[in-house]
Amino acid sequence: MAAAGPAPARSTVSRKPGGGGGAAAGGGAGRGLEVRVRTARKRSHASTLWLNRQLNDPYVQAAKREGFRSRAAYKLLEIDEKKKLLKPNQRIVDLGAAPGGWSQIAAERSGSAEGRGKVVAIDLLEIEPIPGVDFFQLDFLDDKAPDLLKERLGGPADLVLSDMAANTIGHRKTDHLRIVALVEAAALFASEVLAPGGAFLAKVFQGGTEGDLLAALKRDFAKVEHIKPPASRKDSSELYVLATGFRGAA
């Protein structure tokens, strides 16, 4: 296995592979080594490329060392380092939580495992228990989901997180519509459960927050901006929309 760089600093502020601002190649023993995966007869070229990228991704390696459920945990850590979203005693909802990387960070930063905050996660897929996280195996679009989550939180949420991505089929226009529809649904959900002053952070893709969606976010929140954390691969169109200062339900 190739060296992925020095272990991320164990700081309460951030953890970054290589100690830098992005997925930098690491130092130490094995510097510059790269794992190469041969194409198997039953494995497609695309699958081989994906596996090769995973094996040589410093964020993937760091997540394994740190005990995070996924490399996505670093995206939230990096966003939080810059925007200071996560605070002790917060009530937090994690939409589409599986496998649980964002829930882990939310629980750590809010202090929910010590009873100083509350994190409720929801997904159609089951996830392994996480200290300080209450989990519902449920579709967040279910009519009863908002009330269930607010009841478990003990009140309205301070922050709604969504790292969900819509299933795509390779047809650009159809995929775009699915992406926008999912973020719109997450934003509507957030407006039902957030407390005034709350925040909403969601995965989108370039061109995925425009028109009616952007207008709705600007109407409901004091500030709306896009952010691309270093852990989000440079060749990906993925980015995040951050809406802060929720104005309250109409």
Q: How far apart are CA 46 and CA 180, in angstroms?
A: 26
Question: How many Cα atoms sit within 13 Å of 249 on the Cβ side?
Answer: 10
Q: Is 163 annotated as a binding residue?
A: yes
Partners of 221 in the beta sheet?
246
Q: Could you say which DSSP state residue 112 is in?
A: G
- Position 167 scores a pLDDT of 73
Q: Is 100 annotated as a binding residue?
A: yes
| 202 C-beta neighbours (distance < 10 Å), count | 24
pLDDT in tens, 162-218: 998 777 667 777 777 788 888 999 999 999 999 999 999 999 877 655 678 888 999
Bigger pLDDT: 175 vs 119: 119
Q: Is 139 annotated as a binding residue?
A: yes
- Position 210 scores a pLDDT of 62
- Report residue 75 CA to chain centroid gap: 6
Q: How far apart are CA 243 and CA 22, in angstroms?
A: 24
Bigger pLDDT: 239 vs 57: 239
Rank 10-14, 46-50, 68-72, 115-119 by mean pLDDT and report only the highest: 115-119
pLDDT in tens, 65-107: 766 667 889 899 999 999 999 999 999 999 999 999 999 999 9
- Position 201 scores a pLDDT of 97
Contact indicator for 68, 8 with CB cutoff of 8 Å: no
Q: Could you say which DSSP state residue 62 is in?
A: H
Q: How far apart are CA 57 and CA 44, in angstroms?
A: 20
* pLDDT at residue 30 is higher than 80: no
Q: 51 CB contacts (<8 Å, ≥6 apart)?
A: 37, 43
* pLDDT at residue 127 is higher than 60: yes
CATH domain 72-246 topology: Rossmann fold (3.40.50)
What is the residue extent of each domain of the chain? 17-66, 72-246
Output the CA–CA distances (angstroms, integers) from residue 32 to 5, 26, 29, 49, 65, in the order listed: 10, 8, 9, 19, 19
Output the CA–CA distances (angstroms, integers) from residue 191 to 93, 119, 179, 229, in the order listed: 12, 17, 19, 25
Nearest to 158 by CA among 76, 81, 90, 242: 90
- Position 12 scores a pLDDT of 38
Q: Is 80 annotated as a binding residue?
A: no
Q: How far apart are CA 149 and CA 154, in angstroms?
A: 8
Q: Is 67 annotated as a binding residue?
A: no
Q: Is 63 exposed, middle or buried (0-12, 13-18, 19+ CB in 10 A)?
A: buried
Q: 11 CB contacts (<8 Å, ≥6 apart)?
A: none
Q: Is 105 helix (H, G, I), strand (E, B) or coil?
A: helix
Q: How far apart are CA 215 and CA 220, in angstroms?
A: 9
Q: Is 87 exposed, middle or buried (0-12, 13-18, 19+ CB in 10 A)?
A: middle
- Position 165 scores a pLDDT of 79
Q: Is 77 helix (H, G, I), strand (E, B) or coil?
A: helix
Tell me the mean pLDDT in the region 6-21. 42
Bigger pLDDT: 149 vs 52: 149
- Position 170 scores a pLDDT of 72
Which residues are known to be catalytic?
A: 203
